[in-house]
Amino acid sequence: MTDAARTQLEAKAAADVCRDVEFDADVASLLEPDMHAAAMLEKLLELETKRDALRFLAHAIEPREAVWLAFEVARAELPEDAAEPVRAALAATEAWLDEPDDPRRRAAFEAANTSGYESPQGCAALSVFLCEGSVGPDHLEQPVHPPEGACADAVTGSLMMAAILDPKQLNDRVASYVAKWFELAEQPRPWDSTPADDGVDESGYDTELKL
């Protein structure tokens, strides 16, 4: 686990994260007094199935970072023959990550609805809409906040859909997605970067979606 990843997870109590997660296994015996999320994640990764580790991670990290992880995995798993609505959902997710304003958030929701939620890309776009802001109509003055943990659940759905594309390698694929976040935690976040004219920001992060 990288330093940046560990620092973020150590700041959260494992018990607090677990309250929002629906696990497959009974993980109560793994919890220890004052355990932080980094230690709990390591224990979950030691289990025979890695899916609970992925669920836990999606709820433990910052929502935007969870969406970023879902996007990176969905982009890597995009089929060459993907339908245009699926590609559009992925592009809308990236657009919001680069500039997370409300119009782009709602555009991602529209793209998710058009593509459907049967793909990692569609669920990733849905997670954008549930990440922050109001889920009510944009003309309402009173915001309607998304349910607690809804973004993390959508991210988990996106990642699990990607993992089952190869069921025989499901555990390995899930573990690789957890490892992918460890890598992302060391990189500049796309919404903190200023894109240059050539599509590459000053940190070297490629902001142009290449499908």
Mean pLDDT of 129-134: 96
Could you tell me which residues are beta bridge partners of residue 206? 200
Query: Angle CA(95)–CA(128)–CA(145) in degrees, nearest 5?
Result: 135
Q: Does the residue 154 lie in any domain? A: yes
| 74, 124 contact by CB (below 8 A) | yes
The residue among 188 and 2 whose pLDDT is bigger is 188
Q: Does the residue 18 lie in any domain? A: no
Which positions ≥6 away from 118 have C-beta within 8 Å? 161
Averaged pLDDT score across all residues of the chain: 90
Q: Which domain holds residue 142?
A: 64-168
Residues in the chain: 211
Q: What pLDDT, on the 0 to 100 scale, is given for residue 49? A: 87
Q: Does the residue 46 lie in any domain? A: no
Digit-coded pLDDT (tens) for 97-126: 999 999 999 999 999 999 999 999 999 999
Q: Does the residue 138 lie in any domain? A: yes
Given a cut of 70, whether residue 198 has pLDDT beyond it is no
Query: How far separated are the first and last CA of the chain, in Å rounded?
Result: 30
Mean pLDDT of 14-26: 93
Which of 86-95, 149-158, 178-187, 195-204 bottoms out in mean pLDDT, i.e. has the lowest? 195-204
Q: Does the residue 203 lie in any domain? A: no
In the structure, what pLDDT confidence band is assigned to residue 80 with cuts at 50, 70 and 90? very high
For 100-121, b/e burial (b = at least 16 CB within 10 A) is beeebbbbbbebbeebebebbb
Digit-coded pLDDT (tens) for 143-192: 999 999 999 999 999 999 999 999 999 999 999 999 999 999 999 999 99
Q: Does the residue 23 lie in any domain? A: no
For residue 187, what are its two tokens? 């990189």
- Phi/psi of residue 52, nearest 5 degrees: -65, -30
**Counted domains in the chain:** 1
For 67-90, b/e burial (b = at least 16 CB within 10 A) is bbbbbbbbbebbeeebeebbbbbb
Q: Does the residue 129 lie in any domain? A: yes
Q: Does the residue 125 lie in any domain? A: yes
